[in-house]
Structure 1
C-alpha cells in the first residue's frame, strides 16, 4: 500500500430537523486545529438555513414540551450514554480544537457527559422547586407552574467547544423548549459530533438544530426572528451584543446576557433552567 495516499477531507453538514442538509448557499469553510493545521470543512450556514432551523424547532415544540418531564430526563440520559460510547472521538476533537493536553481534554469530555446526567436529573424536579401553591383570600385554589418558553436561539461559547456548548444547550431542552444553536465558529467539530450523537439518540428531530458558520452573520437574523422566543447571548461578540438586544426587543424576546468569562467546569446551578421557563398561574374554584 502506498504511503503517499491522499487523505479524504471531510466536509460536514448542518443539523436541522433531525437531518443533515448542506447549506442552501453551498458555502463551507476550513476548520483548523490550534496550530493552524487543516482538520475538515464545515458548512457555512446562511440566513435561509437559520429560518429553516427555526421552523424545525417550532414544529418540534408541541411534542417535546408535551412530553412528560420524566421522559425528557430519560432522553437526556440517553445522550450521555451515547457520548460515553464516543468518548475517545470527543477527546481527540477537544484536544485539537482547544489546544489542551489529552488528559485535560479527557476531563473536559467527562465533565460534559456528567453535565447531561445532571440536567437529566432535574427534568422532573424543576416543577416542584419553581412551582407553588399560592395562599389566596377566597374559595379558590391558586397554583403557579413553570412552562417552557418556546424556541430558543443559543449562541454557543466560542472558547469552550464542548463543555460550554453542553452547558448552554442541555438546560434549554431539559425544560421542554426547543432550540437553534450556533456553534463555536472556529471550533465546530465537537458540536458537529454532538449533532451526530443527537441524531442517533432519542431526541426528536427538530428539538435541537445545530448551525455552523459565522456567528456575526447568523445572530442578527435569529435575534430579530419573530418566531424565536428567547435568545442566549453567551457566544456573541462584545461589539454585537447591544445591537442583538435591541433587535430582540422588537419581538419581546427573553434575553440571557453573558456574564463575562465563564468557568464552565464549575458545577452549574438552576439559573439556566429558570431562564427558559415562564410562570403560569391558575385559579380554580374550590368544590368545582
Structure 2
C-alpha cells in the first residue's frame, strides 16, 4: 500500500459567527518555526474588514445590553471549551512559536487562566470604577461604566494565544464587540479560538477574527467610521505604522490604545487598564423619592 497523504487544511475567516472565505479568494501558507508547512490561512481584504465591522455593529446591542453576570457566564464557557481542546492549542502554540511541549502547555494554561480572570470581572468592574457621587440636593448622582462600542484589536504578532487572549477578553467583558486581526505568521491559535467561540455561547458577531497581513486591514479598521476604538498592540515597535493608524483614527475621534515600544511580557499581571480603556462613564441624576 502507498503511504497515506496528509490532508492539508485551508482555514477560513471568522465573521458574524460563520466561517466565510476571504472576499479576495486569496490564502497564504502558514509554516512552523522551522519553515515546515502547517496549513493555509485566509488572506483577509479590506472588504472582509468592513464585513467584520458590520457584523460587530449588528451584535453590539444584544451583547452590551446583556447582564454583566450573563456575559461572565458566556465568557467562562469559552474558557471551559478551551480547556477541552487544550491538546490542540498546545500543539498549535508549540509549532507556531517554536516552543517545547512543557513550555507550550504552560502558555496555554496561562491563556485559559487569563480568560477566566477577565470573565470574573464582568459583574465586578462597575463596582470598582463606578461610584455614587455626593451632591448637595435631593438627588442621587451615579457614575456608571458603559461599553464604547465596536473595538478593532490588532493582536500581538509574537504571542499568538496568550497575547491574543490578553487583548480580546478585556474588550468583550466590558460589553464591547470586537474585530481582531491575528498574528500573520502565527494565526493557527487564533483560528482555533474562533472555532471555540463559534461553538460556545458567544453570539455571532461579538468577536470576529481576520487572518492575513495587518497592513492590509488595519488602515480600514482605523479609519472606519463605525469603529469606536482601536488597540494597536499588533504594531508594537513599528512607530511609523502606528502613527499612520493613530492619524486615521482621528477621523471619528476613536479611543486608541497606543502601540508599545516592544511587545510586552504577556505573563505579567494584566490589571484593569485594558478593560477601562474601552469603557465610557455615564453620570445619571435622579430625584430622591421618585
- Per-residue deviation, residues 198-248 of structure 1 (Å, max 9, x unmatched): 000000000000000110111000000000000000002332000100100
CA distance in 1, matches of 2:2, 2:165: 41
CA distance in 1, matches of 2:7, 2:103: 29
Alignment of 1:156 onto 2:155: yes
- Per-residue deviation, residues 162-206 of structure 1 (Å, max 9, x unmatched): 000000000000010000000001100000000000000000000
Alignment of 1:59 onto 2:61: no
CA distance in 1, matches of 2:124, 2:259: 26
CA distance in 1, matches of 2:100, 2:139: 61
What does residue 257 of structure 1 align with? 258
Q: 1:75 to 1:252 in 2, by over 3 A?
A: same
Superposition pairs for residues 167-206 of structure 1, below 5 Å? 167-206=166-205
Give the drift of 1:137: 2.0
Contact 2:14–2:208 (CA<8 Å) still a contact in 1? yes
> TM-score, structure 1 length as denominator?
0.98
4+ runs deviating over 2 angstroms: 258-261
What does residue 286 of structure 1 align with? 288
- The one of 269, 276, 279 equivalent to 1:277 is 279
The count of aligned residue pairs is 287
Unaligned runs of 5+ in 2: none
> TM-score, structure 2 length as denominator?
0.97
Give the drift of 1:8: 1.8
Give the drift of 1:38: 0.6
CA distance in 1, matches of 2:207, 2:248: 23
What does residue 246 of structure 1 align with? 247
Query: What secondary structure does 1:135 align onto?
Result: coil
Superposition pairs for residues 51-200 of structure 1, below 5 Å? 51-200=50-199
Give the drift of 1:257: 1.0
Aligned CA-pair RMSD: 0.8
Give the drift of 1:140: 1.4
- Per-residue deviation, residues 135-184 of structure 1 (Å, max 9, x unmatched): 11222111000000000000000000000000000000001000000000
- The one of 256, 270, 274 equivalent to 1:268 is 270
Query: What secondary structure does 1:263 align onto?
Result: coil
Unaligned runs of 5+ in 1: none
